[in-house]
Structure 1
Amino acid sequence: MGDQTATRNLQLHHNPVFDVSLNVEGGSNYIDDDGRPKRTGTVWTSSAHIITAVIGSGVLSLAWAMAQLGWIAGPIVMVLFSFITYYTSILLAACYRDPVTGKRNYTYSDAVRSNLGALQVKFCGCVQNVALFGISIGFNIAAAISMVAIQRCNCNHKSGGKNPCHTNNNPYMIAFGISEIVLSQIPNFDKLSWLSIVAAVMSFTYSGIGLALAIAKVAENGKIKGNITGITIGTVTPIQKMWRTFQALGNIAFAYTYSIILIEIQDTIKSPPSEYKTMKKATLLSLTATSIFYILCGCMGYAAFGDLSPGNLLSDKGFHNPYWLINIANAAIVIHLVGAYQVFAQPIFALVEKTAAKVFPDSQFITKDIKIPIPGFGVYNLNLFRLVWRTFYVIITTLISMILPFFNDVVGFLGALAYWPLTVYFPVEMYIAQKKVPKWSTKWIFLQIISLSVLVIALAAAAGSVSGVVQNLKIYKPFKTSS
């Protein structure tokens, strides 16, 4: 989401990394108010989950976003998104318990259902699944860019910069797709605790390297690049400036999108005190830390490259030396995204497979598992429907990635698509419904102004991203163009 890291699992309360409760049988001291194992989450564990979830590949596009907005608007917009995300997260946290029964909502969809009803749940589900599908495409593009960056970095190092090292992204996208076809056949891949741990380590590895390289680049340049208003007219046309400014808003929104898993994180917090009070503190702490890190990455990247800030800070159009450190950072991105793709695809896999089993309960193709013994690993349950359907899904996302391999455009569009409904609209509407905020009251008007304002920004960001795709397609030939 930022990205949208591998920890952003839509069923986090089942994930061992996020389930910090004591799994001990016997005694009321170990049973929570709903009969489940007692939760032990604190402000610190919740803050760690949020930071891990927010910081992802979205951080790589922040320098480019800063270059479009400039030294004044860039930091202001990042702070503004941080404030909006914090405020609406607090509204969402207040909807953790059912307004009538007081029972806990375990997922984002549960919260929507208990506060807004079944119709809104369908709308929420559509937005979630479209966003998840788009994120799968974005992950393939980002992973391919990093693999190409490694190849070209090594090529440039060997040739001393004399070889242009033109490279086609398609073989790397296909390789990424093949790896995902294999991994997608592992049932419940998103339940493996080590996946989230690896993703978190990789996120901080490449983000930290990117920040360190940017600081070193500024020191090497001996000056701070960039200007007050962002990329100058002449470098781009006035129309391009406008569309790229809109697109930058989507890039920043994508980096801050995490609300979809807030309820799941909140469900790990022990009570008393109330989960809301703890979550409010955790959200303030984690978003403050994340915002400082984001502003540092965006500003230092912009200071290092100015108008020429690359769309992906760690691509070969950015840093060149030390090549081994850049390779480590890009390898970390690839490892992160290989696992992250599976976690974000799992909810879609589960939805289709559960629906198919419900509609065709007697179909052996859909419901039957073929047991295949694997020496040293036990028995693998091969399901033919899962094999065909998940393979088809990966192939489709890979093909779209090859047709539209535009990182910033895709990231901007995903940010525009997911940020308003999931971070603003639903939290605002749920809070109004739960607290019975009177229509046309000062608070109601204030909340609606926030929602409407972010909707306008999201529409502008989506338009900017679509415009970027159109412009890129004029010079890009799918399956042929090499970069």
Structure 2
Amino acid sequence: MANQSQQDGTPEQKAIDDWLPITSSRNAKWWYSAFHNVTAMVGAGVLSLPYAMAELGWGPGIAILVLSWIITLYTLWQMVEMHEMVPGRRFDRYHELGQYAFGEKLGLWIVVPQQLIVEVGVNIVYMVTGGKSLQKFHDTVCPSCKPIKSSYFIVIFASVHFVLSHLPNFNSISVVSLAAAVMSLSYSTIAWTAALGKGVKPDVDYSYKAKTNTGVVFDFFSGLGEVAFAYAGHNVVLEIQATIPSTPEKPSKGPMWKGVVVAYIVVALCYFPVAIVGFYIFGNTVDDNILITLEKPAWLIALANMFVVVHVIGSYQIYAIPVFDMLETFLVKKLRFSPSFFLRLVTRTTYVAFTMIVGICVPFFGSLLGFFGGFAFAPTTYFLPCIMWLAICKPKRFSLSWIINWICIILGLLLMILSPIGGLRSLIISAKNYEFFS
């Protein structure tokens, strides 16, 4: 994996790089970066933000949302800057930057497992989310129809990916990604405007759901995990930047950063109104998906669920492409398979089938994510970029950059330790209702 095409430069190597999904096409515009980033960032996680607010409470909730937005924007800026830190070389993949910062072997071991947990985890969650949103759409449109098991809807959702996952690279899914980005803004807007339309419930209660102190503390940790899950776009940011052309005069970080800023404005427009309005209207009775709490108007909720489906289709692809890239790199460079359509067909179809089967078997994967989320989301998003920055740029001790990075690292570590505790507890509490293949 580590051998950089710039160094090897052999024709064989170049042919492989031209075939791999991340490096095959480098003609993206800055707005590609904007909607790819929106699609990667604004996941269905936005719909659980009012619930996270109910677990965190007004003051801490808003503070954590704003802090997360600022910290993750800062770490995203670092990654965009580090993409071409070494003249004449591009770190097209997260693990290549890791290898440069920590060494060939260690870099792979630090980055790849975490990145895979995030990307494969998100793909499985999106299988379930896509299936459940289709089911909700079906049930809302046709309340008198015979109920269909959610596993069938997951299969229907997966069938789209059996086709879409054969698009070769990021630029070829830009239309899907643009549609997904538009949808995420649409359903976020529907979620908070429909809530506002309902008006504040007469008996609204903003106190913590849990009645015991331990319950409140554990819920708080769980809420931290949900917020961390909402900011997971860093795992694909170098891969997205790799698709933008770059010359010494016009490095890719210019257009990339422009796209990121636009994306982050959209993220703020999606996250803050949904989180604040949702909690303000429903208080602590809000569901972990605000669209479930909003029963009426039925046509609007059905529409919002369909938007979620379209968005999750795009998101699934954004997170799957780096996984395809890793698998194909491994097969072609390590196991010496020759790059072919057939190899791609088998690899990608197997991967989609795997995420589908896990989604069907473990429909309560969302709670698992609160648990895993802390382990993998916090590092790759909140503090791994800071550690790399300290390792590569070596800012002076106690300089502003040094202090800011250490603050991010400490906050990220706390998040990584605390949120899995909350996730684990909610797993244990709800485990008695879990059914495999439900």
Distance of 2:154 and 2:100 partners within structure 1: 41
Output the CA distance in 1 between the equivalents of 2:111 and 2:220. Answer: 28
Aligned to 1:79: 66
Q: Is the 8 A contact 2:208 2:216 kept in 1?
A: no
The correspondence of residues 334-483 of structure 1 with structure 2, limited to 5 A, is 334-361=309-336, 367=338, 381=341, 383=342, 386-406=344-364, 408-413=366-371, 415-438=373-396, 444=402, 447-480=405-438
Listed as ranges, the matches of 1:291-370 within 5 Å are 291-315=268-292, 318-361=293-336, 367=338
Residue of structure 2 equivalent to 1:19: 28
**Match status 1:150 vs 2:137:** yes
Aligned-residue RMSD, C-alpha: 3.5
Contact kept? 1:13, 1:19, Cα under 8 Å: no
Aligned residue among 158, 170, 176 for 1:195: 176
CA shift, 1:104, in A, is 4.1
In the TM superposition, residue 135 of structure 1 has moved relative to its aligned partner by 1.0
Which one has a bigger Cα radius of gyration?
1
How far, CA to CA, are the matches of 2:331 and 2:365 in structure 1? 33
Q: Residue type of the partner of 2:97?
A: A
Task: Give the equivalent residue in structure 1 for 2:204.
Answer: 225
Q: In 2, distance between residues paired with 1:430 and 1:82?
A: 20
Shift of 1:443: 5.4
1:57 and 2:32 correspond: no
Q: Cα deviation per residue 1:371-396 (whole Å; 9 max; x = unaligned)?
A: xxxxxxxxxx5x2x555544443333
- How far apart in 1 are the matches of 2:148 and 2:136? 9
Verify: 1:97 aligned to 2:74, yes or no.
Answer: no
Once residues 188 and 286 of structure 1 are traced to their aligned partners in structure 2, the CA distance between those partners, rounded to angstroms, is 21
TM-superposition CA deviations, 1:57-108 (whole Å, max 9, x none): 1211111111111222211110111121123233333323234x36443443
Q: CA offset at residue 120 of structure 1?
A: 1.2
Determine if contact 1:94/1:431 at 8 Å carries over to the other structure. Answer: no
- Cα–Cα, structure 1 residues 419 and 368, in superposed 2: closer, same or farther, change >3 Å? closer
User: Among 82, 88, 94, which residue is 1:108 paired with?
Assistant: 94
Name the SS of the counterpart of 1:466 in structure 2. helix
| % identical aligned pairs | 29
Q: Supply the AA of the counterpart residue of 1:337.
A: V
Report the Cα offset of residue 187 of structure 1: 5.0
Alpha carbons 2:51, 2:286 under 8 Å: kept: yes
**1:414-446: CA deviation from partner (whole Å, max 9, x where unpaired):** 542333222233311222123223567785465
Paired AA for residue 77 in structure 2 = I
* DSSP-derived class of the 1:94 partner: helix
Q: Give the conservation status (yes or no) of the 8 Å contact 2:22–2:169.
A: no
Q: Are residue 181 (structure 1) and residue 162 (structure 2) matched?
A: yes
Structure 1 residue 250 and structure 2 residue 218: aligned?
Answer: no
TM-score, normalization by structure 1:
0.74
Matched to 1:204, the amino acid is L
Aligned residue for 1:192, secondary structure, equals: helix
Q: Structure 2 CA distance, aligned partners of 1:249 and 1:307?
A: 16
Please report how far the alpha carbon of residue 196 of structure 1 lies from its aligned counterpart in structure 2 after TM superposition. Answer: 1.6
**How many positions carry a matched residue from both structures?**
416
Q: Which amino acid aligns with 1:422?
A: T
Q: Distance in 2 between matches of 1:285 and 1:181?
A: 31
Counterpart contact for 1:154–1:323, Cα < 8 Å: yes
Task: Choose the corresponding residue for 1:211, options 192, 207, 214.
Answer: 192
Choose from 134, 141, 148 the match for 2:128. Answer: 141
Q: 1:128 Cα deviation (Å)?
A: 1.3
Aligned-partner Cα distance in 2 for 1:277–1:182: 34
TM-score (norm 2): 0.81
* SS of the residue 1:477 aligns to: coil
Question: Which residue number corresponds to residue 7 of structure 1?
Answer: none
Give the partner amino acid of 2:423: S
**144, 149, 157: which is aligned to 1:168?**
149
Change in CA separation of 1:188 and 1:89 when aligned onto 2, cut-off 3 Å: closer
Between Structure 1 and Structure 2, which shows a larger proportion of helix residues?
Answer: 2
In structure 1, the gaps of 5 or more residues are 1-9, 21-40, 160-164, 370-380
